[in-house]
Amino acid sequence: MVAAASASVVSATGCSPTPGAMPVAASSGRAPDSPALGPLKHVRTDVLDVAYYEAGPADGEVVTLWHGWPYSIECYRDVVPELVQHGFRVIVPFLRGNGPTRFLRADTVRSGQQAALGQDVIGLLDALHIPRAVFAGYDWGGRGSCVAAALWPQRCAGLVSVNNYQIQNLDAALTPDPPATESAHWYFFYFLSERGRAGLTHNPKELARVVWTRNSPEWHFTEADLDRAAETFDNPDYVDVVMHSYRHRLAAAPGDPRYDDVEAQLLKQPPITVATVTLDGLADGSVPPTDGTASAKHFTGPRVHHQIPGAGHNLPQENPHAFAAAILEVTTLR
Give the pLDDT confidence of 205-250 residue by residue, as tens digits: 999 999 999 999 999 999 999 999 999 999 999 999 999 999 999 9
Q: How confident is the model at residue 6 (pLDDT cuts 50, 70, 90)?
A: very low
Cα–Cα distances (Å) from 126 to 46, 64, 96, 97, 122, in that order, read: 10, 13, 16, 20, 6
Residue 17: predicted pLDDT: 41
pLDDT digits (tens, 9 = 90+) for 253-309: 999 999 999 999 999 999 999 999 999 999 999 999 999 999 999 999 999 999 999
**What is the SS3 assignment for 146?**
helix
- Enter the pTM of the model: 0.92
25: three-class secondary structure by DSSP:
coil
Positions of E strands within the chain? 41-44, 48-55, 62-66, 89-93, 102-103, 133-137, 156-162, 276-281, 303-308
**Per-residue confidence (pLDDT) for residue 36, from 0 to 100:** 85
Q: What angle do CA 117, 256, 198 make, to 5 degrees?
A: 80
pLDDT, position 33: 55
Q: Find how far residue 80's CA is from the centre of its chain.
A: 15
Task: Work out whether strand 133-137 and strand 62-66 pair parallel, antiparallel, or are unpaired.
Answer: parallel
Which pLDDT score is estimated for 157? Answer: 98
Q: What is the mean pLDDT of residues 145-169?
A: 98
The phi and psi torsions of 255 (rounded to 5 degrees) equal -85, 170
User: How much of the chain, in percent, has pLDDT values that exceed 70?
Assistant: 90
Q: How confident is the model at residue 30 (pLDDT cuts 50, 70, 90)?
A: very low
pLDDT at 159 over 50: yes
- What domains sit in the chain, N to C, each tagged with a CATH number? 41-330 (3.40.50.1820)
Q: Report whether pLDDT(35) > 90.
A: no
